[in-house]
Amino acid sequence: MQKGLLLVVSGASGTGKGTVCKRLLAESSTLFYSISATTRQPRAGEKDGVEYFFVTVEEFQKWIAEDKFLEYAEVYGNFYGTPIHKIEERLNHGEDVLLEIDIQGALNVMKKRPDGVYIFLLPPSLEELSNRIKGRGSESPETFARRFQAATSEIATGKKYQYVVVNDTVDSAVEKIKAIIAAERCKVNRNENLFENLLAV
């Protein structure tokens, strides 16, 4: 049985990671979302155990001590981490797992899981990036300025990923990611058993 793909999607703040990943999950019955844990407060409409596991700083530190994270990082004063147990379980059963995580977290995962598929989302322009960050409606002018400056400096980090997808429209971005998944499934190093089975005597 072919092992599942660990699909990591990230990008600078405001590039539309959440929207793209939600559409991707809605259109795929074989892709499972890995829910991260965070110490930040829920945004409007977010529910514990759906978008994130919302935990206290004390709980998060306990999970770190128990080595329960594939990766974790502090971003804008809050902690984010990826619980490892469910991910490995699904991958070993041939199921694909989607991680939607920040850049710092993705770079940490790359070190531990070089077999993952790493996709970086880019905005079509800096003007559009600015509009998307403002469009959240949850940013003060000071927070917006900090996020926009950080986002523009984070964009160059995308060169460390395997794939880059410009999120000009959600439909286009999702189709490109589906094509990446299909290509990854066809890689020789993921299908060595096909050669062995065919040539078995």
The phi-psi region of residue 127 (left if phi > 0; otherwise alpha if psi is between -120 and 50; otherwise beta) is alpha
Which of 141-171 are b and which e, b meaning 16 or more Cβ less than 10 Å from the residue's Cβ? Answer: eeebeebbeebbebbebbeebebebebeeee
Query: What pLDDT score does 38 carry?
Result: 95
69-106 pLDDT, tens digit per residue, is: 999 988 889 999 999 987 998 999 999 999 998 888 89
- Integer Cα distance of 118 and 99 in angstroms: 10
Stretch (H or E) spanning 19: helix 17-26
The answer on pLDDT for 55 being more than 90 is yes
- 137 band by pLDDT with thresholds 50, 70 and 90: low
Give me the chain's average pLDDT, please: 89
> Is-contact 1 158, C-beta < 8 A?
no
- 187 band by pLDDT with thresholds 50, 70 and 90: very high
